Structure formats: structure tokens, C-alpha cells
Amino acid sequence: PMAELTCDPVPGVPKTSRRLLAGYLIHRDDPDALSVVYCELQAPVGPRASLVIYENEACSSPIMEIPIFESSVCCDVVGINCSCFVVEGHHFASQSSSERKLWLRALSNLKVKLQNKAPEPTQNELLHFRSAIRENIQTLQATQESRIARNPLLRLLDKHPLQLRKFAKVLAKALFWRIGPKQRKHDDQLYNRSRQTQGHGLVKRSGAQPQN
């Protein structure tokens, strides 16, 4: 996606008023699926901060919220030029290792404030926090290598990848059981027979005779 890292709230969206850092990340949904989501790190409210996940930068409706406490596990994944990190068991990947470092630094600072039982930041304090983060973002963007392609390489789907994957599994299971075991066995026999005869340029059909 074209949206870059930012620390500024979305105008007209009150739920982003406590934003400290936001940007697109890759999230591992399960061992076989990934999705590109928009993540927002929010300032603490009481004993917890939050990492809120949205579908895109419009932040119209959150998909998931990961609470950040003083004992939360936030760590990187060891690897050469690796951009992966873990937040409370959720695996993420940023666009670069430098961007990962910025996310982890912001998470670490939040945990320090929670550990020290710091009061909730005021609006003026949030402005100071954002100013410091903005300087880091600008430094990161100035030293970051240009991308090979800035436009999306995949077509945007109407549904969220998590929903599509669940729907595909349910549909495949329903179709599998609907045809019945006898029909499945018959289809497998036809497929195996066609595979055996393809080498001779002929596929046999029931009731049909080969022609010269």
C-alpha cells in the first residue's frame, strides 16, 4: 500500500486520537495464511496500551485489538536483515528491518511508562511524543532505499483475507461431503483412467469406443 508510517490521527475519526505510530504490517493469520493490515499503536489508558488492527488506513472499523501491558512480550525475530517481530504471540513483518526497529522502540517506551505507573498522557504530552516519533519517521524515510514497485502487486479484494479463507474452507468442505462417497470414488477412477491414457493421446469414456 502507498500509505507511509505516520503518527498523526485520522481527521474525523475519534478512535485514532491517541495514536502514536501507525502503518501497514504483514500479519501471520495462521501457519498457512498472511494478510496485510493497518496497525496503530495507541497511548496508554490506565494500566494498558493498545495495538489496534484495521483493514486499511481509513481506520473505519477495527479488526482486532492487542492489549499491551507492562509484562507483555514484544521482541524481534533473529535473522539477517529480518523485518519480523512478535507482539503478544502475534507475528508481524514490516517493510524493512529499520522500520521494525522503530515499532519495537515505540513498544518498548510504552512498556517502560506502564512499568513506572506513569499517568495517562495529556494532549500536550501526546503532541511531544508524536513530535519525537515524527523525527524518527523522517530519518527512516530519508535513509530508506527506494522500493522496486510502489503500486500494489495484487488486486484488492472486497473481503478481508481472513474472511475469504474461512469461507473457502467452509465451501470446500460442504462440496466435498455433498457429492457423496460413491460419486467421489467414481470421479477418482475416471481421473486415474484419464491420466493413464493421456500418454496415448486418447481418453476413454464410458460407453464410447476408440476411433482410428
Picking from 75, 96, 112, the residue whose alpha carbon sits closest to that of residue 25 is: 96
**Number of Cβ atoms within 10 Å of the Cβ of 136:** 17
The mean pLDDT of the chain is 80
Averaged pLDDT for residues 9-25:
95
Averaged pLDDT for residues 116-124:
93
Residue 29 or residue 205, greater confidence: 29
What pLDDT score does 172 carry? 53
Rounded Cα distance between 193 and 68, Å, is 58
Averaged pLDDT for residues 11-20:
95
pTM for the model: 0.68
In the numeric block, the cell 488506513 is attached to: 57
Residue 191 or residue 27, greater confidence: 27
